[in-house]
Structure 1
Amino acid sequence: MTTYKTRQEVPEQEKWNLNDLYSDVGLWEKDYRHIEEMAEKLKTFDGQIHNGHSLYQYLKQSEELSYVFNKLYAYPMLKVDEDTRETTSQSLLDKAKQLSVKVSSSTSFFMPFLLSLEEETLKSYINEEKGLDYFAEDLMESFRYKLHVLSKDQEKILSQLGEALSVPSHTFGMINNADIKFGKVTGDNGEPIELTRGMYTKLIEDENREKRKEAYFAYYKPYLQLKNSIAATLSGAIKNNVTMAKVRHYPSALEKGLFGDRVPKEVYENLISTTKKNITPLHRYTKIRKEKLKLDELHQYDMSVPLISGVKPVISYEEAYETMLKALSPLGKDYIQMLREFRDARYIDVRETPGKRSGAYNLGIYGVHPFILLNHQDDLDSLFTLVHECGHGVHSMLSSKYQPQISAKYSIFVAEVASTVNEVLLINYLLKNEQDSNVRKHLLNHFIDQYKGTFFTQVMFAEFEKKTHEMAEAGIPLNVDIFNQTYETLFREYNGDTIVFDEQVKYGWSRIPHFYRPFYVYKYATGYASAIHLATRIFEGDEKTIQSYLEFLKSGCSDYPLELLKKTGVDLTTSEPIENALKRFEELVDEFSKIL
């Protein structure tokens, strides 16, 4: 594998080109001053919007500001991610953050003002000013929240409580990221070494069972020691959600969480009930895992180790890119041409170097192009990561190209569809073309485990959130015992009785940061199911699906997520996409059991 000691050693072609944002810091500073002036101008609209013309002027200038500000903020953020140790980039990012506060403060009057208007007054403004046609849909969308917005004085009090209400989430973040120490595990040379999260994800997949077991118990130890503190933070976060839902007149915390995407609670409930009706193949896979590993007892620390040993294909970045272009060719020439442009015009930062931010992401910037961060490791996971992030990248590119700024930013609900469609097309392509039976088995195993993590585990988490919020709404006290009991019951229902339950299993809830962002995780599962549904048809060459899917990628947030997906043939208000995804999982388990 290619390793680089410094960023300078990396070939130019494998580094993103930030000159596309600013060719020098002087131009960045110029935009900084421009935004400061624009923010001051926006402040002067406070109390001065009395007709359609002044409303239009405010909105037009506000949109211009956000266009420039997005570029300005992205530049130092991307610079910092190239090398987090670099102080010049950090100070630019700090300046951008301070400017963000100024901008927010200069526009904070607007939403309370807008929602204080009568609907008829707003409609009369829109009718009298032609320019407001562009903003009309967004203005009326804001009115959906009118029922849930309180008086000006009450809103002021709530905004002052904002920091206090975020304490549970912030406290958990500090415990989880700063305070928790996992202790020591045995290194390769027999020396004790400090366990880290990154190391844990590798060790829990190690073929040496003793290493997996040692890492598992070390990883959970601090969570068990801090169980009461973490239970208090989670309980606080849930109670805050429930209280805010009541204060803002939502029927339940769940419905408040789904309101923004206009998703009926039946979609959430249907996801859970349909999955549980079709859970048998997952139980069967757990049994296959136990048999294949030849274990008397299957424990949770045996659930991540690959079942096919000795298969670790080396895939260079060049090879990975060419494989991606072939695998995604069913999406058409224009799609593939865009991916070539990503590489040739240097939208991607490829290599891991000292100080570089870990992980991978896509950042779409309206009016410029996407920037993709990778830490390519020349392995199968890195190939999947490349394909995944490029899915987001093309989605950003097409939404920017075909939508005006106001409707170009797609919602999280649909974001994972674009990336997962690519992953499914890739796995289908690899399975179709792979001759080596061992590698084929490895690919199937990879796909099934990915399915389990992205779909089944997220549905289980979604049900845990629903149950614990309902308990809080019913006045049932939330504590360690309640969380343990709820989590353990669900874990058994989803994973079956093949697994032997160590004490640690029921504490799974204590380490999930997503629980502090309520009713979010279900989107991974609906996105995955939608992607399976679409990718299967695209792979088969269904022209109608291909065209409607490409239109979907161009749509940004021009409609609500469920409506955008319906246009591709995926209707999440029915159980069909979920049933199809579960049927596909069953087929994979069947195939895997036959070739083992």
Structure 2
Amino acid sequence: MKIYSSRVEVPDYEKWNLEDIYTDIEKWEKEVRKIEGMAEQLGKYDGAIHDGKSLYEFLKTKEELSYMLNHVHAYSMLKGDEDTRDADAQALSERVQSLGVKVGAATSFFMPFLLELEESTLKRYIAEEPGLKYFEEDLFDSFRYKAHVLGKSEEALLSQLGESFSAPASIFGMINNADIRFGEITSDNGGKIELTRGMYAKLIEEEDREKRREAYKAYYQPYLQSKNTIAATLAAAVKTNARMAGIRNYPSALEKSLFGDNVPKEVYENLIQSTKASISPMHRYTRIRKEKLQLDELRAYDLSVPLVKDVKQDIAYEEAFETMLKGLAPLGEEYISILKEFKDKRYIDVRETPGKRSGAYNLGIYGVHPYILLNHRDDLDSLFTLVHECGHGVHSTLSARHQPQITARYSIFVAEVASTVNEILLIHYLLDNEKDLEVKKHLINHFIDQFKGTFFTQVMFAEFEMKTHEIAEKGEPLNVEVFNTIYESLFREYNGDEIVFDEEVKYGWSRIPHFYRPFYVYKYATGFASAIHLAGRILKGEKETLQSYLEFLGSGSSDYPLELLKKTGVDLTTPEPINSALAQFADLVEEFAKA
């Protein structure tokens, strides 16, 4: 794997092309000024909507503004993520944040106004103005929020505080991406070098246990050094979520987060309960890991090393992309042609560089196309990450292609289905086309670890979120000790008693950015369970399932997510999809134990 010391060194074909959004910063500036003017214009509708015509004009202008705001936000975000140390890019993001607050303040009157209307009045407005048909379903869906929207002055005040409410996430982002300096490790020539995230991802899988231990300690060093700051930041985020739920008259922060998707809390609770009821295969896998590694003591830095030796695969990006195309061929020609565009038209930013945002994501931009951030390391994990994010990318593409703007943005709840179906199809392709028995065992091991990371770990995170929010809702303190106690207890419960805990284990919560998006991570697990069901049927050649799945990808938010999934044959209001996935995990562990 080539390590780049600056972004300039990366070839253009491995960097995204942001000129598809704005060809230069002047065009971005011009759009920002236009949005500011439109925000003022929207504010003038406060108290001036009296008929269908004025309601339509407001909604049409608001949608046009939203379209532009999404573009200026996307550009500033993508630019900033290229190098989180870039002060100019940070300034763009700060301007967009302020702009969002202005727009929020200008339009904050609308929901209180709408929810004060009688349904008969709204129906009359729609009858008066044909253009309102486009907004009709969205308008009536807003009535679900009647009990949770405050008065006009209170909503205006909350919108003004938007930046303050998002401060914990912003602060953690800067700590985690820009300020963190990992400890030193021993290089191949015996010298000392500073660890990077990319290096850590490689070293934690090293067969040399001392290298794993050294990387693990160096990786956690800055988190332990900043434990009180990060704990205060996370506590502020959790308490804000809990207080906002109370202010908006939700029974709990969990139910507030689930409300938008119309997901009953029983789906969340059932996920945790069903997983813990079938946790024994996970514990068995931990024991198998200890045995295969021939260790007297299993520690946290032993949990990622592959259990099948001498089959570590180096997969260059070009090869990874071609493998993806072959593995996803069951999804059809249209799907594959969309994937090819991603690479040919430079929608993907491939390489890790200093200051670049860690991890990976897809950002769909209506009216442009998706952009995908990677930190590709030319290994098997990077291949799976590519396939995962391209699943999101195709989902964004098809939803934008088949839905109007108002319903093109899909819920995060269904997003993880699209990405994980791709991963399941890929693993089956790799297993079906591999003749070397050792490599096959390695792939089964990888599938088990993928299952662990995407399902079990996310359920553990989901329970951590639920427990910490329950503490905040009781008005009890949240601090380092509380977070450590909860996390350490859950880690043992989910992974079993075979692990000897180093000091770092209980600080696992301190490095998780998803905790700043409340009750998000459970969707990885429900998405994974749904994907296992769908991918299995697609691989069996069920044309009806494939057709319903492709329609699902083009559905955006045209229905509630649980209803969209039901159309593909997956019903998450029952335990069946979760239990089915857990049964498959048990089979994989059994197969690996015999291998």
Does TM-score exceed 0.5, indicating one fold?
Answer: yes
Alignment of 1:92-171 (within 5 A): 99-159=99-159, 165=165, 169=169
Structure 1 residues 43, 268: CA separation in 2 closer, same or farther (over 3 Å shift)?
same
Aligned residue in 2 for 1:401: 401
Aligned residue in 2 for 1:488: 488
Is contact 2:84–2:177 with CA below 8 Å preserved after alignment?
no
Aligned residue in 2 for 1:272: 272
Moved more, 2-11 or 356-365: 2-11
Aligned-partner SS, 1:145: helix
What's the CA shift string for 1:50-82, capped at 9, x where partnerless?
A: 111101011112212222343344345445555
Matched residues in 1 for 2:280 and 2:15: separation? Answer: 46
Aligned residue in 1 for 2:469: 469
Is contact 2:108–2:155 with CA below 8 Å preserved after alignment?
no
Moved more, 340-349 or 296-305: 340-349
Aligned-partner SS, 2:409: coil
What's the CA shift string for 1:152-182, capped at 9, x where partnerless?
A: 3444454455555556555655665566655
Structure 1 residues 26, 219: CA separation in 2 closer, same or farther (over 3 Å shift)?
closer
Determine whether 1:206 maps to 2:206: yes
Aligned residue in 2 for 1:563: 563
Aligned residue in 1 for 2:545: 545
Alignment of 1:441-452 (within 5 A): 441-452=441-452
Determine whether 1:256 maps to 2:256: yes
Matched residues in 1 for 2:187 and 2:351: separation? Answer: 26
Is contact 2:5–2:353 with CA below 8 Å preserved after alignment?
yes
Aligned-partner SS, 1:45: coil
Which amino acid letter does the alignment assign opposite residue 298 of structure 1?
L
Aligned residue in 2 for 1:281: 281
Alignment of 1:22-61 (within 5 A): 22-23=22-23, 28=28, 31-61=31-61
Is contact 2:108–2:152 with CA below 8 Å preserved after alignment?
no
Aligned residue in 2 for 1:508: 508
Alignment of 1:13-412 (within 5 A): 14-23=14-23, 28=28, 31-75=31-75, 77-79=77-79, 81=81, 99-159=99-159, 165=165, 169=169, 182-221=182-221, 223-224=223-224, 227=227, 230-351=230-351, 358-412=358-412
Aligned-partner SS, 2:372: strand
Structure 1 residues 102, 228: CA separation in 2 closer, same or farther (over 3 Å shift)?
closer
Matched residues in 1 for 2:573 and 2:510: separation? Answer: 32
Residue 428 of structure 1 and its aligned partner are, at CA, apart by 0.5
Aligned-partner SS, 1:144: helix
Matched residues in 2 for 1:151 and 1:95: separation? Answer: 28
Structure 1 residues 96, 243: CA separation in 2 closer, same or farther (over 3 Å shift)?
closer
Structure 1 residues 310, 6: CA separation in 2 closer, same or farther (over 3 Å shift)?
same
Matched residues in 2 for 1:472 and 1:111: separation? Answer: 28
Which amino acid letter does the alignment assign opposite residue 512 of structure 2?
I
Aligned residue in 1 for 2:457: 457
Residue 586 of structure 1 and its aligned partner are, at CA, apart by 1.4
Residue 33 of structure 1 and its aligned partner are, at CA, apart by 4.9
Residue 522 of structure 1 and its aligned partner are, at CA, apart by 0.9
Is contact 2:186–2:192 with CA below 8 Å preserved after alignment?
yes
Structure 1 residues 227, 36: CA separation in 2 closer, same or farther (over 3 Å shift)?
closer
Structure 1 residues 62, 356: CA separation in 2 closer, same or farther (over 3 Å shift)?
same
What's the CA shift string for 1:351-405, capped at 9, x where partnerless?
A: 5567765543322221222233344443322322221222111111110111011
Which amino acid letter does the alignment assign opposite residue 212 of structure 1?
R
Matched residues in 2 for 1:85 and 1:469: separation? Answer: 32
Matched residues in 2 for 1:351 and 1:238: separation? Answer: 33
Residue 562 of structure 1 and its aligned partner are, at CA, apart by 0.8
Matched residues in 2 for 1:450 and 1:267: separation? Answer: 23
Residue 20 of structure 1 and its aligned partner are, at CA, apart by 3.6
Matched residues in 2 for 1:60 and 1:541: separation? Answer: 44
Which amino acid letter does the alignment assign opposite residue 63 of structure 1?
E
What's the CA shift string for 1:277-309, capped at 9, x where partnerless?
A: 111111111111101111011111211112223
CA RMSD of aligned residues (A): 3.1
Matched residues in 2 for 1:163 and 1:34: separation? Answer: 21
Matched residues in 2 for 1:386 and 1:178: separation? Answer: 24
Is contact 2:311–2:438 with CA below 8 Å preserved after alignment?
yes
Moved more, 551-560 or 582-591: 582-591
Residue 550 of structure 1 and its aligned partner are, at CA, apart by 0.4
Which amino acid letter does the alignment assign opposite residue 554 of structure 2?
K
Matched residues in 1 for 2:425 and 2:594: separation? Answer: 23
Moved more, 170-179 or 581-590: 170-179
Matched residues in 1 for 2:263 and 2:6: separation? Answer: 47
Moved more, 498-507 or 517-526: 498-507
Matched residues in 1 for 2:362 and 2:514: separation? Answer: 20
Residue 454 of structure 1 and its aligned partner are, at CA, apart by 1.2
Aligned residue in 2 for 1:572: 572
Residue 29 of structure 1 and its aligned partner are, at CA, apart by 5.3
Which amino acid letter does the alignment assign opposite residue 494 of structure 2?
Y
What's the CA shift string for 1:6-65, capped at 9, x where partnerless?
A: 767766655544454345556555545544443343233222111111010111122122
Residue 314 of structure 1 and its aligned partner are, at CA, apart by 2.9
**Percent pairwise identity:** 71
Is contact 2:98–2:163 with CA below 8 Å preserved after alignment?
no
Matched residues in 1 for 2:236 and 2:27: separation? Answer: 46
Moved more, 80-89 or 270-279: 80-89
Matched residues in 1 for 2:200 and 2:158: separation? Answer: 41
Is contact 2:109–2:152 with CA below 8 Å preserved after alignment?
no
Matched residues in 2 for 1:424 and 1:253: separation? Answer: 33
Aligned residue in 2 for 1:588: 588
Structure 1 residues 33, 238: CA separation in 2 closer, same or farther (over 3 Å shift)?
closer
Aligned-partner SS, 1:207: coil
Aligned-partner SS, 1:74: helix
Structure 1 residues 67, 534: CA separation in 2 closer, same or farther (over 3 Å shift)?
same
Matched residues in 2 for 1:223 and 1:343: separation? Answer: 36
TM-score (structure 1 length as normaliser): 0.90
Which amino acid letter does the alignment assign opposite residue 496 of structure 1?
G
Moved more, 94-103 or 400-409: 94-103
Is contact 2:97–2:163 with CA below 8 Å preserved after alignment?
no
Q: Gapped runs of 5+ residues in structure 2?
A: none
